[in-house]
Amino acid sequence: MRPEPIKKGPTQLMGKDIKSKVGVDQELIRELAQLLEETGLSEIEIDRDGLRVRVARQVRVDAAFAPAAVPAPPPASPTAAPSAAKGTSLDPVEHPGCVRSPMVGTAYLAPEEGAPPFVEIGSRVAQGQTIMIIEAMKTMNHIPAPKAGTVTRILVGDKQPVEFGEPLAIID
């Protein structure tokens, strides 16, 4: 027995309201794309009433791992000024006391607006002590000192965006 050929077009097979869903889907896709941009996510997928929508954006990570692509700290920031302490002539990336960002996000040097910073240049820190916070996707991530010592350089400014692997501070 031969199957009967399909005589209906794809829009007739999928239901009477497929054309009305296209407009709604475009609006939904725009909203999801905006949500990706606002949250920094690389993709999002939803399933609503049997309609599955996945929106993804291409995230460039090649520059985040290249030490040469790390932007220089802003010269106007008083906390980013190099100190006269030993080891400041080294490139921050190569310095043995370099504290690197474990994620992409926004660096905060104080626990809240108007509060004193976690550390300043010349501060003594204990291993595990919070030296700053990186906000990623509305989550505040405390960045601990990897070793005890003295903070000789702070390489980022307050509320500055940071990349994965970017030098944040130097602890000698």
Q: Domain limits of the chain? A: 10-56, 73-171
11 band by pLDDT with thresholds 50, 70 and 90: very low
For residue 3, the model assigns a pLDDT of 54
What's the whole-model pTM score?
0.49
77 band by pLDDT with thresholds 50, 70 and 90: very low
Give me the sign of the Cα torsion angle 119, 111, 97, 91.
negative
Mean pLDDT value of segment 135-150: 92
Helix (H, G, I), strand (E, B) or coil at 38: helix
**Count of C-beta atoms within a 10 Å radius of residue 168:** 23
Burial readout 118-144 (b: 16 or more C-beta within 10 A, e: otherwise): bbebebebeeebebbbbbbeeeeeebe
How far apart are alpha carbons 158 and 117 in whole angstroms?
Answer: 9
For residue 2, the model assigns a pLDDT of 55
* Domain at 73-171, CATH class: mainly beta
User: DSSP class of residue 25?
Assistant: H
Mean pLDDT value of segment 69-82: 47
Dump pLDDT digits (tens) for 91-142. Answer: 787 888 899 999 999 999 999 999 999 999 999 999 999 999 999 998 999 9
For residue 24, the model assigns a pLDDT of 55
For residue 94, the model assigns a pLDDT of 82
**Count of C-beta atoms within a 10 Å radius of residue 28:** 16
Strand partners, 75: none
147 band by pLDDT with thresholds 50, 70 and 90: very high
Torsion on CA atoms 87, 155, 100, 59, rounded to nearest 10: -140
132 versus 36: the higher-pLDDT residue is 132
